[in-house]
């Protein structure tokens, strides 16, 4: 099961999981998720789209029940869907804060709660949550988003401890600057500006001197979802081209 599957990193994760032969439930609030994967080349697995708002608890519960009924099991949950509002503490509103926590944090808690019993029954499962380097080092103006992402990293540790006896591993991924629709702010692609080019590329604030592509995060998710990942749990894997190790 992959949330946030209509575009960006979530869509790339669905594509890579399909190539690996997985059967994927692609979940998104955007109806585009229904048509997004029809043209995936070398598609080995199969995909079923679910259009819902993951912060709607009953809709999410019905979705998980439907997946479990159709497939007979749930092996992997990728918590990718997220929203963000830009604004400092003076500009931001309590309403925005609550909306961000509802989608970026509470829905993750709820999704884990819904799938964990299915995974525990088969004594195998993988939960992968997409955090962000914004939770490690931040430029500001993203307080509610940063708070939710930091909480995801902490929650992942708690999940790892609680679910280990049931054969379930829980990890997070913290992407840096990834080239997706989320990097477009007010119509400007933040990974293509002169400032980005000067600071992150020419001065190598990102040592690898480029934004990441969604597929580069998706391959990390494939590893964390696989049997190759057998002794890693409670970890947040940073995939940022080195961004957070530079001054």
List residues with catalytic annotation: 145
CB of 59 to ligand NAD, least distance (A): 9
Q: Cβ-closest residue to ligand NAD?
A: 8
CB of 165 to ligand NAD, least distance (A): 28
Rounded-to-integer distance, Cα 155 and Cα 173, Å: 13
Closer residue to ligand NAD, CB minimum distance, 3 or 233: 3
Q: Is residue 99 near ligand NAD by the rule CB under 6 A?
A: no
CB of 122 to ligand NAD, least distance (A): 26
Quick check: 87 and 141 in contact, CB under 8 A?
Answer: yes
Q: In sequence order, which residues have a C-beta less than 8 Å from that of residue 100 and are 6 or more positions away?
A: 83, 84, 85, 144, 145, 148
Q: Is residue 24 near ligand NAD by the rule CB under 6 A?
A: no
Residue found under tokens 């840096």: 176
Quick check: 55 and 29 in contact, CB under 8 A?
Answer: no
Q: Is residue 203 near ligand NAD by the rule CB under 6 A?
A: no
Cα atoms found within 13 Å of the Cα of residue 172, Cβ hemisphere only: 28
Q: Is residue 4 near ligand NAD by the rule CB under 6 A?
A: yes
Which pair of structure tokens corresponds to residue 80? 């990718």
Q: Is residue 239 near ligand NAD by the rule CB under 6 A?
A: no
In the region spanning residues 142 to 201, those forming contacts with ligand NAD, defined by CB under 6 A, are 175, 177-178, 180-183
Report phi then psi at 94, rounded to 5. -60, -35
Q: Which of 1, 8, 49, 76 is in the footprint of ligand NAD by CB under 6 A? A: 8
Quick check: 140 and 154 in contact, CB under 8 A?
Answer: no
Angle at 205 between CA 200 and CA 207, to 5 degrees: 100
Which residues here bind ligand NAD, judged by CB under 6 A? 3-4, 6-10, 28-30, 53-55, 80-83, 103, 130, 132, 175, 177-178, 180-183
């Amino acid at each position: 099961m992959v949330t946030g599957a209509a575009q960006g990193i979530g869509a790339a994760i669905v594509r890579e999981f399909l190539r690996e032969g997985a059967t994927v439930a692609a979940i998104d609030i955007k109806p585009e998720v229904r048509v997004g994967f029809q043209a995936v080349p070398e598609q080995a697995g199969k995909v079923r789209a679910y259009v819902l708002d993951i912060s709607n608890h009953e809709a999410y519960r019905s979705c998980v029940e439907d997946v479990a009924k159709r497939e007979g099991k749930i092996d992997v949950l990728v918590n990718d869907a997220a929203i963000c509002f830009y604004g400092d503490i003076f500009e931001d509103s309590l309403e925005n804060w609550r909306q961000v926590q509802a989608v970026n944090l509470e829905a993750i808690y709820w999704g884990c709660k819904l799938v964990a019993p299915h995974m525990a029954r088969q004594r195998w499962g993988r939960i992968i949550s997409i955090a962000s380097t914004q939770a490690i080092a931040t430029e500001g103006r993203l307080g509610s988003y940063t708070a939710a992402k930091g909480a995801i990293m902490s929650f992942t540790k708690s999940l790892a401890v609680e679910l280990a006896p049931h054969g379930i591993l829980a990890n997070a991924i913290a992407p840096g600057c990834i080239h997706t629709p989320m990097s477009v702010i007010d119509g400007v692609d933040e990974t293509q500006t002169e400032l980005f080019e000067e600071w992150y590329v020419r001065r190598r604030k990102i040592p690898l001197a480029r934004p990441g592509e969604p597929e580069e995060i998706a391959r990390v998710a494939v590893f964390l979802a696989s049997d190759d990942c057998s002794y890693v749990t409670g970890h947040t894997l940073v995939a940022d081209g080195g961004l957070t190790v530079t001054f």
